[in-house]
């Protein structure tokens, strides 16, 4: 594979970051083979996702795993329990770390809604994504001061370009590459786009999280996924050294092959893991429907069981909003599901939360 001139001056801003498309061969034999495997895994995931019992809440719960793990990379830590309970309660009862993770989820859905309306990706949307995550208006960097360091040693390993005008032009070039039809495999283009965005590093903060949101949105924009359910951050956090090594090899040696193969392998593995998780949810739902029908003394309906599988925590008000039952009867139905072991009740303040333990475990794998 052709290499460009080495850039290995970590203390200097990379103002000469090459524009897209990259030079050199992006589709070596090894890359094409890995891309085929990734396409197969994504197609199987896309098919499995059609069985999800809820197109909104459960898909959101799965997407929140991406939000939690992606935020953990940035040292914003919360637990699955806090995260899923936050879906079920009012914002004032949610801790700050969980709120920040939820905002990452909001950014995913903002971008997804933008694409669903047929709108094109543009620089203002990138700014909105970053602003939603951090909950204040974030502008493109104007001056120097942003550097990427090795978290273990604190040593500077990369300094991104500086200057709002220069950075904006680089982002516009990236988005032109995003939108332009190409003979290059879209999964390979995804790898290129992710590298380029991280190399531009356009904002003072949230660049990693915005870049990982763009991964999901690009897959949706190319028709490779219908729903934002593939979360690559787990693979990154499990092999941070491989991730940063791949990025640096592109920067320092123009070595795209190492980087693209790393990303394609993680795409395949993550798609397979996510498909298995979805299949497990579907299996548990069908088993719960049969078991509840045979075991409940009162209140059984398939609609009720599907509702308690729409997210890990259920409250009485959920049944009321769904028109299944009024408050007192809804409480009895949930207690009945607790009696037969499908749900586990827990009182928080004056409110009862009913945990679907098995769904919680599957989502938290």
3 marked as binding residue: no
74 marked as binding residue: yes
Return the structure tokens found at 122: 């543009």
- How distant is the alpha carbon of residue 356 from its chain centre? 23
291 marked as binding residue: no
d(C-alpha 333, C-alpha 274), whole Å: 31
CB-based contacts of 107: which residues, under 8 Å, 6+ apart?
Answer: 129, 130, 132, 133, 209, 210, 213
205 marked as binding residue: yes
211 marked as binding residue: yes
346 marked as binding residue: no
d(C-alpha 155, C-alpha 145), whole Å: 14
276 marked as binding residue: no
Residue 265 neighbours by CB distance under 10 Å: 16
206 marked as binding residue: yes
Rg (CA), the chain: 22
322 marked as binding residue: no
Nearest Cα to 291, choosing from 279, 314, 309?
Answer: 309
- The answer to whether 193 and 213 have CB atoms below 8 angstroms apart is no
56 marked as binding residue: no
d(C-alpha 218, C-alpha 136), whole Å: 25
d(C-alpha 116, C-alpha 274), whole Å: 22
For residue 346, the surrounding DSSP H or E stretch is strand 344-348
d(C-alpha 342, C-alpha 93), whole Å: 26
208 marked as binding residue: yes
Residue 201 is a catalytic residue: yes
d(C-alpha 79, C-alpha 74), whole Å: 15
Percentage helix, strand, coil for the chain under 3-state DSSP, each rounded to 5: 60, 5, 35
Kindly provide the residue ranges of all beta strands, DSSP E only, lying in 137-267, ordered along the sequence. Answer: 148-149, 156-158
242 marked as binding residue: no
Return the structure tokens found at 325: 């039952």
Q: Which of 114, 201, 282, 283 is an active site residue?
A: 201
Nearest Cα to 302, choosing from 280, 287, 281, 318?
Answer: 287
* Catalytic residue annotation: 201
Instruction: Name the binding residues for ATP.
Output: 74, 201, 205-212, 243-244
Instruction: Name the binding residues.
Output: 74, 201, 205-212, 243-244
């Amino acid at each position: 594979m052709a290499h460009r001139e080495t850039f290995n001056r970590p203390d200097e801003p990379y103002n000469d970051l090459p524009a897209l498309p990259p030079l050199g061969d992006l589709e070596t034999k090894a890359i094409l083979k890995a891309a085929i495997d990734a396409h197969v895994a994504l197609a199987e995931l896309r098919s499995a996702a059609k069985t999800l019992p809820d197109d909104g809440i459960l898909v959101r719960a799965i997407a929140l795993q991406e939000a939690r793990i992606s935020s953990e990379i940035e040292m914003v830590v919360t637990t699955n329990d806090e995260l899923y309970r936050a879906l079920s309660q009012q914002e004032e009862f949610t801790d700050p770390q969980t709120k920040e993770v939820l905002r990452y989820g909001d950014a995913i859905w903002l971008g997804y809604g933008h694409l669903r309306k047929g709108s094109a990706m543009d620089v203002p949307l990138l700014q909105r994504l970053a602003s939603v995550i951090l909950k204040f208006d974030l502008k493109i960097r104007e001056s120097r001061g942003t550097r990427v360091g090795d978290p273990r040693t604190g040593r500077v390993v990369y300094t991104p370009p500086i200057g709002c005008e220069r950075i904006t032009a680089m982002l516009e070039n990236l988005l032109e590459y995003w939108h332009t039809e190409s003979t290059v495999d879209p999964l390979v283009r995804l790898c290129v786009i992710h590298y380029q965005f991280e190399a531009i590093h356009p904002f003072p903060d949230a660049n990693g999280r915005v870049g990982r949101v763009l991964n999901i949105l690009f897959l949706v924009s190319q028709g490779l996924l219908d729903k934002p359910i593939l979360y690559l951050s787990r693979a990154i956090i499990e092999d941070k050294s491989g991730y940063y090594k791949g990025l640096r090899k592109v920067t320092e040696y123009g070595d795209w092959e190492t980087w693209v193969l790393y990303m394609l392998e993680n795409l395949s593995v993550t798609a397979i893991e996510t498909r298995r998780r979805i299949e497990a949810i579907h299996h548990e739902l069908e088993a719960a429907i049969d078991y509840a029908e045979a075991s409940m003394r009162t209140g059984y309906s398939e609609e009720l069981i599907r509702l308690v599988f729409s997210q890990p925590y259920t409250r009485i008000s959920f049944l009321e909003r769904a028109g299944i039952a009024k408050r007192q009867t809804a409480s009895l139905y949930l207690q009945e599901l607790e009696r037969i072991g499908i749900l586990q009740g827990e009182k928080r303040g004056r409110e009862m939360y009913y945990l679907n333990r098995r769904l919680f475990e599957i989502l938290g794998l």
